[in-house]
Amino acid sequence: MSNTIRITDLANPQLTEVQSAALAYGEQQQVDFSENAVLDAARQRTGLDDFGPGDFRERLQLLLDEWGNDPDMTPSQRANLFGYLVRYASNRLLIQSEWTRQPEILKQEIRQPIIVAGLPRSGTTHLLNLLAADTRFRSLPLWESYEPVPMPGEPTLPDGTDPRYQRCEEAWQGMQQVTPLLAAMHPMNPDHIHEELELMGPDFASYNFEWLAPSPRWRDHYYATDQTPHYAYMRDVLKLLQHFRGPDRWVLKCPQHLEQLPVLREVFPDATYVITHRDPVAVIQSAVTMIAYGQRMGRKRIDTKALINYWCDRVEHLLQACVRDRPSMPESQTVDVPFHEFMADDMAMVEKIYAKAGVELTDRARGEMQAFIDAHPRGKEGKVVYDLKGDFGVDPAELRERFAFYFERFPAKPEVG
Instruction: Read off the pLDDT of residues 338-380 as tens digits, 9 standing for 90 and up.
Output: 999 999 999 999 999 999 999 999 999 999 999 999 998 876 7
Total Cβ atoms within 10 A of residue 55? 10
Express each pLDDT in 32-58 by its tens digit.
999 999 999 999 999 999 999 999 999
> In whole numbers, what is the pLDDT of the chain averaged over residues?
95
Express each pLDDT in 235-259 by its tens digit.
999 999 999 998 999 999 999 999 9
The type of residue at 30 is: Q
> What are the Cα distances from residue 177, in Å, to 17, 167, 404?
11, 15, 41
Contact status, residue 270 vs residue 104, Cβ threshold 8 Å: no
pLDDT at 185: 86
The answer to whether residue 1 scores a pLDDT higher than 60 is no
pLDDT at 417: 64
The answer to whether residue 321 scores a pLDDT higher than 50 is yes
Which CATH architecture best describes the domain 4-17+111-152+160-407?
3-Layer(aba) Sandwich (3.40)
The answer to whether residue 194 scores a pLDDT higher than 90 is yes
Express each pLDDT in 124-175 by its tens digit.
999 999 999 999 999 999 999 999 999 999 999 999 999 999 999 999 999 9
pTM of the model: 0.96
Contact status, residue 127 vs residue 116, Cβ threshold 8 Å: yes
Q: What is the DSSP string of 309-328?
A: HHHHHHHHHHHHHHHHHGGG
pLDDT at 382: 80
- The predicted model gives 314-322 an average pLDDT of 98
pLDDT at 378: 76
Q: What is the DSSP string of 386-397?
A: P-HHHHH---HH
Torsion of CA 204, 128, 121, 383, to 10 degrees: -130
Domain residues of the chain, as ranges? 4-17+111-152+160-407
Contact status, residue 382 vs residue 2, Cβ threshold 8 Å: yes
Q: Coil, helix or strand for 110?
A: coil
Contact status, residue 124 vs residue 276, Cβ threshold 8 Å: yes
pLDDT at 338: 95
Express each pLDDT in 87-97 by its tens digit.
999 999 999 99
Express each pLDDT in 394-407 by its tens digit.
999 999 999 999 99
